[in-house]
Amino acid sequence: MKRRTFLIALAAGVVAACSWWFASYFRNFFVDPIARPELLLKIMSRDDIRAVGRQYRKQFPLENDKEILKEKLQEEMGSSPVSIPDYEAHIKEDFNAGNIVIIEGWILSVTGARQCALFSIIE
């Protein structure tokens, strides 16, 4: 009996660990690209991104709302649904057009900063 209990517990543990890893690893895939500042995730921690997002909402209180942020991000893209590469291209266009904000010292595109703001609400 003891051996059986041990094996069941071990199997449960393995399943739990795999589920946690799976959920962590793939969670980005389940998040709407609109709320995923993919480039910034390469160089900033999630906490830093949340902090930037919160600060953006503080600096632009009229955008301190999930639906408004979604709407603005979708408006910018012109059509939906959109992919992460579409956003990356749009962010580059933002920089070329001078649509830039400085939040917490980070020099960001407006689109990137809005993504952070939405990320900070959703995540």
Partner 1 sequence: MHIDASEIANNTVIEGDICIVGAGAAGLSIALDWNNTPQKVILLESGGFEFDMEIQKLNDGETSGQKYYPLQSSRLRFFGGTTGHWQGMCSPLDPIDFKERDYVPYSGWPISRAELEPFYGLANKTLQLGPNEYELDYWKNEIPDLNPFPLDQSVIWNKMWQKNPIRMGQVYKDAIVSSGNIHLYTHATAVNIVANEGLSAVQEIRLSNHAGRKFNVKARHFILACGAIQNARILLASNTQMPDGLGNEHDVVGRYFMEHFEMICSELRLFKPFPTGLYDRGEIKAELAITEAAQMENRILNGTAKLRPLDVYEKVEPSMETWTDNDPRKAMESLKESSWLTKFLRLKSRIVKPDSFLLDTRMEQAPNPNSRVTLSSEKDALGVPYAHLNWELTPLDKRSLRKISEIIGIQMAKAGLGRVKLLEFLQDENDSSFPENTNAGWHHMGTTRMSSDPMKGVVDKNCRVHGLANLFVAGSGCFTTGGAPNPTLTLVALSLRLSDHLKSKIGTKANQA
Q: Which of 56, 68, 61 is nearest to 110 (CA)?
A: 56
- According to CB under 8 A, which one of 5, 24, 42, 75 is a site residue for partner 1? 42
117 near partner 1, judged by CB under 8 A = no
97 near partner 1, judged by CB under 8 A = no
d(CA 50, CA 30): 18
Stretch that binds partner 1, among 15-23, 25-33, 42-50, 113-121 (CB under 8 A): 42-50
Question: Which two tokens mark 51?
Answer: 């902090």
Residue 43 or 62 with smaller CB distance to partner 1: 43
95 near partner 1, judged by CB under 8 A = yes
On the CB side of 87, CA atoms within 13 Å amount to 26
CB of 118 to partner 1, least distance (A): 18
Residue 5 or 96 with smaller CB distance to partner 1: 96
Per-residue CA distances from 58 to 19, 64, 121 (Å) = 36, 7, 13
Directed axis angle between helix 84-97 and helix 66-77, to 10°?
80
62 near partner 1, judged by CB under 8 A = no
Q: Give contact residues for partner 1 (rule: CB under 8 A).
A: 39-40, 42-44, 91-92, 95-96, 100, 102, 104-109
